[in-house]
Structure 1
Amino acid sequence: MQSPHSLDWPAITQSLDDSGCAHIPQLLSPAECTALAGLYPNTALFRSRVVMERYSFGRGEYQYFHYPLPDPVAQLRSGIYPHLVPVANRWNEAMGIAVRYPAEHADFLQRCHTAGQLRPTPLLLQYGPGDYNCLHQDLYGEHVFPLQLAVLLSEPGRDFSGGEFVLTEQRPRMQSRPEVVPLRQGDAVLFAVHHRPVQGTRGSYRVQLRHGVSRVRTGQRHTLGVIFHDAQ
């Protein structure tokens, strides 16, 4: 795993400001990806399993980890969060949102837990042929951190085909703008959970974002999702 502190945060920040997402190549090694994907059958590690078709979320399934999180997941969550806090606070200020986020993830989790958001949200997702994830937002309660992370654990072209990560942005009085982020095994994408500010001629305004996964055509695709707020 690359140390979160060694990443090119000025470039990541610029990409987040420009497009609402940032690509991080090779955040995890192939061996780490294989090990994490291999946890999926171990139901003892997870608090719940969701079959997406039952809820019209798409097709495929995912499982939320319970506490304590596996070490690599916990390290990513606590290590990346502090680097995102300046972006999150600056975005909220630009959008006229009063909420500010503490410097350390443990302090933000305490805020979530005090409000009754006690359930961990990091998850593993599993897709097979024909599976997909509808465009959505991972909100889960009153306290929402405005950025999240996804890491592709499978290798396109070898383990699966199709299954592209898709982000859409809806600006006022305009049609949605799609963005496809090409990922290889171990690559991560940071992206806006809900909304972000865009600078217009009359100041900043909010745009709404949603994310999903296009249809997997062949094989099996695993993804790690790291959401920084907990759920009710």
Structure 2
Amino acid sequence: MTTAVETPATFEDRVAATDWAAVKQETDAHGCAPTGPLLTPDECREITAMYEDDQRFRATVDMARHRFGSGEYRYFRYPFPEPLQWLREALYPRLLPIARDWAARLTRPAPWPDTLAEWLDQCHEAGQTRPTGILLRYREDDWNALHRDLYGDLVFPLQVVIGLDVPGADYEGGEFLLVEQRPRAQSRGTSRTLRQGHGLVFTTRDRPVRSARGWSAAPVRHGVSAVRSGLRHTLGLVFHDAA
């Protein structure tokens, strides 16, 4: 039986097993990149089942009501369930070099310290105290409008979404969408199908792209295409808290 001490190391090992050099290369080129498996099928089902437990969440958002699309999502409250907390802590230092490299290319400040705990302390000191872990649920014909998850002045430039259901079996459609507004050019779209238990790293706000004058920031928004049938759940890991 796995002990409480060994379990976090298991999540760290899963995160470490991803080819992070390849993630950096693909994120640099396209604004998003898949990871290896981060959750087992059983863990995916356990997290999905949390959706009905009101005590775990601080807020529920009806997307149609706010004209965000159609569907529903819920923000976890602190403390997070252990898999979410461990994954965020293990993913943050892997994403940090990409974040700092992008900031250097765009000649922006890079305020992110070496650990997630230190970064969240900075968020809280700035008044961003509300947790931003998200569990999303889409039924048939639901979709998510293109948007960016900023929440305040302090922003970590990358986030991760994890598929919790099996595409093609539990649901059809519902592709993850990324649309990039390129400098003095037409927008470019990317779509991804989320494998169960696998993550997708993607840019929160913008990313550096080469231009005639060096590097420019290309604004990026993300969303979800319409679910044609079935039920689709995803877990969103954002690395800054909300004001």
Q: Normalising TM by the smaller chain, what interval?
A: over 0.9
Say yes or no: does 1:227 pair with 2:238.
Answer: yes
What root-mean-square deviation, in Å, do the aligned CA atoms of Structure 1 and Structure 2 show? 1.1
Answering whether residue 64 of structure 2 is matched by residue 53 of structure 1, we say yes
Q: 2:156 matched to 1:158?
A: no
1:27 partner amino acid: L
Distance 2:54 2:120 in 1: 24
98-107 vs 122-131, greater mean Cα deviation: 98-107
Moved over 3 A (4+): none
Q: Are 2:15 and 2:36, in contact at CA under 8 Å, matched by a contact in 1?
A: no
What is the CA-CA distance between 1:7 and the residue it aligns to?
2.0
Q: How far is the alpha carbon of 1:97 from its aligned partner? A: 1.2
* 1:120 maps to amino acid: P
Q: 1:222 and 1:58, CA in 2 relative to 1: closer, same or farther beyond 3 A?
A: same
User: 73-82 or 89-98, which moves further after superposition?
Assistant: 89-98
Is contact 1:92–1:100 with CA below 8 Å preserved after alignment? no
SS in 1 for 2:33: strand
Letter in 1 for 2:188: R
Matched, 1:149 2:147: no
SS in 1 for 2:153: coil
Normalised to the residue count of structure 2, the TM-score between the two structures is 0.93
Match of 1:62 in 2: 73
The percentage of counterpart residues that share the same residue type is 47
Match of 1:133 among 114, 139, 144: 144
Letter of the 1:229 counterpart = H
Q: CA deviation at 1:5?
A: 2.4
How many aligned residue pairs are there? 232
Task: Report SS of the residue matched to 1:15.
Answer: helix
Q: Within 5 A, what are the aligned runs for 1:39-188?
A: 39-188=50-199
Alpha-carbon contact 1:50-1:62 (below 8 Å) kept:
yes
Q: Is 1:197 the equivalent of 2:186?
A: no
Say if 2:17 and 2:36, in contact at 8 Å, map to a contact too.
Answer: no
Q: Which residues of structure 2 form unaligned runs of 5+?
A: 1-10
CA distance in 1, matches of 2:33, 2:23: 6
Shift in Å, 1:201: 4.0
Q: Which runs of 5+ in 1 are unaligned?
A: none
The 8 Å contact of residues 164 and 182 in structure 1, kept in 2 or not, is answered as yes
Q: CA offsets per residue over residues 106-162 of structure 1, 9 Å max, x none?
A: 000000000000000001000001100000000000100000000010111111111
- Amino acid in structure 2 at the alignment position of 1:208: P
2:218 counterpart SS class: strand
Give the whole-Å Cα distance in 2 for the aligned partners of 1:3 and 1:63. 26
Q: CA deviation at 1:202?
A: 3.0
- C-alpha distance in 2 between matches for 1:7 and 1:75: 16
